[in-house]
């Protein structure tokens, strides 16, 4: 309880960050209440440029290069891969990732901004009757899975995480924090804020998003404990304002279509149904390992799908994965 009280006290002292001038037509509340992210202080894998991922990878299906893919591959033509394998396409690193190519490390924020890169897609879904969901999609070129009992598990190229803020008549009511295959939802009043902007703590390497700083055991789905065998770590590291490096879009759920708020923003990449990283390496790949042959404990797993696969049209604040959507009113584990 003392820990939570101290967190509230720290939040009360936080200095509100200014918001970026978004393209014309973006509702003012989209940036006014946009999340602020504390990156983990020792995490070497910072937010990355969405487009640069294409110049550092090549599309493959079943580890075989797609010979007739567009060249160069860009955010404007990425969706053409849907006809060449679609969900079986993996954007595979051109350079062996075990050699630690520099692009995997992204760009750390300077004055809260990842200068020179666009690391965020802000997607607005207007349900009508004043109900609007705004997704803040964050891209990282690499995900470090974590060290469990001296085994590294779950590394992969490409990493999409997100927050979603639900609004009613321009007023925020709830915030979703993505964490691995699921996450947590809180009422807007519950979460810590910088001014009126929800505070997010990005976990070391995995970039899972949490509402509080500290240690988070996620062994049990939907349960965030202060310690355990499978832990994420967050702290008040560098502050990143995702709105300073973002593309802005609307999403029409009736037609499953995206539209940019300005003519200079690429759109077609959002329709890509493949994966933003390497396919899971097979057992006979010398880079691969697991824990005593247990399935699901591979060191390297497959890259993630993109924003179009993150349930952009939700009934509840949580994605519909068969579990109850718990709207939390307490920050603690």
Quick check: is 39 in a domain? yes
pLDDT tens string 257-276:
999 999 999 999 999 999 99
**Structural domain boundaries, residue 249:** 2-328
- Average pLDDT of the residues in 130-135: 98
Mean pLDDT across the chain: 91
Q: For residue 154, what pLDDT is reported?
A: 87
Q: Can you give the pTM of this predicted structure?
A: 0.92
Domain count, the chain: 1
- Residues of the chain with pLDDT > 90, as a percent, come to 79
Q: For residue 160, what pLDDT is reported?
A: 98
Q: For residue 222, what pLDDT is reported?
A: 63
Quick check: is 114 in a domain? yes
Q: pLDDT: is 9 or 131 the higher one?
A: 131
Whether the predicted pLDDT of 145 surpasses 90: no
Least confident of 5-19, 114-128, 231-245, 253-267: 5-19
- Average pLDDT of the residues in 167-192: 96
Whether the predicted pLDDT of 106 surpasses 80: yes
Q: For residue 6, what pLDDT is reported?
A: 39
Quick check: is 333 in a domain? no
pLDDT category at 18 given cuts 50, 70, 90 is low
pLDDT category at 152 given cuts 50, 70, 90 is confident
- Average pLDDT of the residues in 71-90: 98
pLDDT tens string 194-213:
999 999 999 999 999 999 99
Give the strands of the sheet with 89-93, arranged side by side.
64-65, 57-61, 89-93
Q: pLDDT: is 10 or 298 the higher one?
A: 298
Q: For residue 218, what pLDDT is reported?
A: 65
Quick check: is 263 in a domain? yes
- Average pLDDT of the residues in 72-93: 98
Quick check: is 189 in a domain? yes
pLDDT category at 17 given cuts 50, 70, 90 is low
Q: For residue 4, what pLDDT is reported?
A: 41
pLDDT category at 23 given cuts 50, 70, 90 is very high
Q: pLDDT: is 253 or 10 the higher one?
A: 253
Quick check: is 287 in a domain? yes
- Average pLDDT of the residues in 227-233: 74
Q: For residue 313, what pLDDT is reported?
A: 97
Whether the predicted pLDDT of 169 surpasses 90: yes
* Phi, psi (degrees; rounded to nearest 5) at 34: -65, 145
Quick check: is 72 in a domain? yes
Whether the predicted pLDDT of 317 surpasses 60: yes
- Cα within 13 Å of Cα(253), Cβ side: 13
């Amino acid at each position: 309880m003392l820990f939570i009280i101290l967190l509230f006290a720290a939040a009360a002292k936080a200095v509100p960050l200014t918001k970026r001038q978004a393209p014309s037509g973006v509702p003012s509340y989209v940036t006014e209440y946009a999340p602020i992210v504390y990156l983990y202080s020792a995490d070497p894998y910072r937010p990355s440029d969405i487009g640069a991922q294409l110049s550092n990878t090549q599309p493959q299906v079943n580890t075989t290069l797609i010979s007739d893919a567009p060249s160069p591959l860009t955010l404007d033509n990425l969706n053409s891969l849907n006809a060449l394998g679609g969900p079986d396409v993996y954007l595979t690193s051109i350079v062996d990732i075990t050699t630690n190519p520099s692009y995997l490390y992204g760009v750390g924020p300077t004055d809260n901004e990842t200068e020179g890169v666009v690391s965020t897609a802000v997607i607005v879904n207007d349900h009508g009757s004043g109900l609007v969901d705004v997704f803040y999609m964050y891209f990282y070129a690499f995900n470090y899975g974590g060290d469990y009992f001296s085994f590294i598990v779950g590394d992969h190229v490409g990493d999409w995480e997100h927050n979603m803020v639900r609004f009613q008549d321009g007023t925020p009511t709830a915030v979703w924090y993505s964490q691995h295959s699921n996450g947590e939802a809180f009422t807007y009043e519950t979460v810590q804020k910088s001014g009126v902007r929800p505070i997010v703590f990005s976990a070391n390497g995995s970039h899972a998003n949490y509402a509080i700083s500290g240690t988070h055991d996620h062994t049990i789905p939907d349960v965030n404990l202060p310690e355990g065998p499978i832990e994420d770590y967050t702290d008040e590291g560098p502050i990143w304002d995702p709105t300073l490096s973002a593309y802005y879009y609307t999403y029409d759920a009736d037609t499953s279509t995206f539209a940019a708020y300005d003519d200079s923003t690429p759109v077609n990449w959002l329709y890509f149904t493949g994966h933003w990283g390497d396919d899971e390496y097979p057992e006979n790949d010398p880079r691969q390992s697991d824990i005593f042959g247990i399935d699901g404990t591979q060191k390297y797993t497959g890259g993630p799908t993109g924003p179009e696969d993150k349930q952009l049209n939700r009934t509840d604040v949580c994605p519909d994965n068969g579990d109850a959507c718990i709207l939390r009113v307490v920050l603690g584990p």
